[in-house]
Amino acid sequence: MKSRDLAYVALFAAITAVLGLLPAVPVPGIPVPITAQTLGVMLAGSVLGARRGGLAMLTFLAVVAAGVPLLSGGRGGLAVFVGPSAGYLYSWPLAAFVIGLLTQLTWRRFTLAWAAVANLVGGVAVIYALGIPFTSLYGDVSLSAAATGALSFVPGDLVKAGIASVVAVAVRRAHPVIELPGRRPAAG
């Protein structure tokens, strides 16, 4: 990894932390207020690509695990990694990786639609796919019960996937970061 990649990873871990400092927004018609933090997961994947995006989330989780309260609501430390909702956290590196992978695959014609696909698959489906079984295991409840409980967060996550997609397309136009193999721009 080049030094610039280290910078990308640290900066997107920091962006995710800053998004967690924002207060949760109540949205009419949605039962749970939306927190902005998982937007960081989506942005890391769809701006940096699979590898750097995934590493940015691993870095963010390492910082939180080390005892820095950067998770939304000022949470942090190891306690958040053993609670019933810990599976959602564990999914973040994989989620960013999958979003990044889908983004790279569609990079040449990365329209809003492709961005939305990437963010819905990686940023919503992957997160629930890991989060729900974890709650089910730790809480000793059935998968369907855990999934029903998670339903109230889905509308917020769909809104975030939408925002992340719009932002990802705009950022790609202004300052593309992902480089496809064989078409490297000159070093700058």
Query: Residue numbers of the site for other proteins (CB under 8 A)?
Result: 1-15, 17-18, 21-22, 25, 39, 43, 47, 55, 59-60, 62-63, 65-70, 73, 75-85, 138-141, 145, 149, 163, 167, 170-171, 174-175, 177, 185-188
CB of 182 to other proteins, least distance (A): 14
Q: How far is the CB of 146 from other proteins (least distance, A)?
A: 10
Q: Do the beta carbons of residue 118 and residue 45 sit within 8 Å?
A: yes
3 vs 108 by CB, closer to other proteins: 3
Of residues 3 and 29, the one with the C-beta less far from other proteins:
3
CB-nearer residue toward other proteins: 121 or 171: 171
- What is the distance, to the nearest Å, from the Cα of residue 57 to the centroid of all Cα atoms in its chain? 8
Query: CB-wise, 8 or 92, nearer to other proteins?
Result: 8
Helix H segments across 66-111?
86-105
| Smallest gap from residue 105 Cβ to other proteins (A) | 21
Helices (H) and strands (E) in the chain, counts: 8, 0
Query: What residue type is 165 in one-letter code?
Result: S
Q: How far is the CB of 95 from other proteins (least distance, A)?
A: 18
- Comparison of 76 and 122: residue with beta carbon closer to other proteins: 76
Cα separation, 49 vs 32, in Å, equals 30
Q: What is the largest CA-CA distance in the chain?
A: 55
Reference 88, options 48, 117, 125; nearest CA is 125
Q: How far is the CB of 125 from other proteins (least distance, A)?
A: 22
What length is written for the chain?
A: 188
User: What are φ and ψ of residue 183, in 5° steps?
Assistant: -130, 55
